[in-house]
A = this chain, B = another copy of it.
Amino acid sequence: MADDVRWLDADQLQAWMALAGMLFKLPGALDFQLQRDSSLNHFEYSVLAALSESPDRSRRMSDLAGEANGTLSRLSHVVKRLESRGFVNRRPYEEDGRITVATLTDEGFAYLLAAAPGHVEMVRKYVIDALTPEQLEQLKVISRQITAKVDPERPC
C-alpha cells in the first residue's frame, strides 16, 4: 500500500465527476424511453439494429456481441428473449457446428422500424442537439480514445 497515489487535481476531478454524472444518467434515460415506447432496452435495440444492417440480416453470435458492445453471455440471454418474442431466429451454422447464426425476422425488422424514430429523437434531444457540431466531433474522438483504453481489443 505505497502512498504514491496520484490523486486527481481539481480540474481533473470536476471533469471526471461530470463524466460520471452523464454515465449514471444517460443510459437510464435512454432505456426509459425505449422501454416505455417499445418494451426494449438499449442493448436489445442495438442488437436488432446491428442485425438489420448485416447481410441477410444475419450474424453469428460472437460477431453480434462485439457489434453491440456486449458479452456473449449477455447476448445469449437477450437473443433468447428476442427469439421468444419472434424478433429473431437462431440456427446452427452448417460449416461449423459450434457457431450459431442469429437472423432478424420480418416482424423483428418491422418492430425495429417502429421503435427507431422515438429512439433517434431521444438521441437527438439528449446528445446531438445538446452539442455543437464541433463538440460532437470532439466527443466522437474522446469516446473512441476512452473505449480504446478500456477495451484494447476491437479497435473499431
* Interface flag for A27 (CB, 8 Å): yes
Q: Kindly list chain B residues whose C-beta atoms are within 8 Å of the C-beta of A8.
A: 120, 123-124, 128
- How many copies of the chain does the oligomer comprise? 2
Among the 9-residue stretches A12-20, A80-88, A95-103, the one with 4 or more Cβ atoms under 8 Å from chain B is A12-20
* Interface flag for A73 (CB, 8 Å): no
Task: Say whether, besides A27-B23, A130-B149, A150-B126, A18 and B120 are in contact (CB < 8 Å).
Answer: no
CB-contact partner of A15 in B27, B136, B146, under 8 A: B136
A114 CB to nearest chain B CB (Å)? 8
Among the 9-residue stretches A55-63, A104-112, A137-145, the one with 4 or more Cβ atoms under 8 Å from chain B is A137-145
* A145 contacts B131, C-beta separation under 8 Å: yes
Q: Kindly list chain B residues whose C-beta atoms are within 8 Å of the C-beta of A150.
A: 22, 25-26, 29, 126
Listed in ascending order, the chain A residues whose CB lies under 8 Å from chain B are 1, 5-8, 11-12, 14-16, 18-27, 29, 42-43, 46, 69-70, 114, 116-117, 120-121, 123-131, 133, 135-151, 156
7 contacts between A and B (CB under 8 A): A5-B121, A15-B140, A19-B139, A19-B143, A21-B147, A22-B147, A131-B145
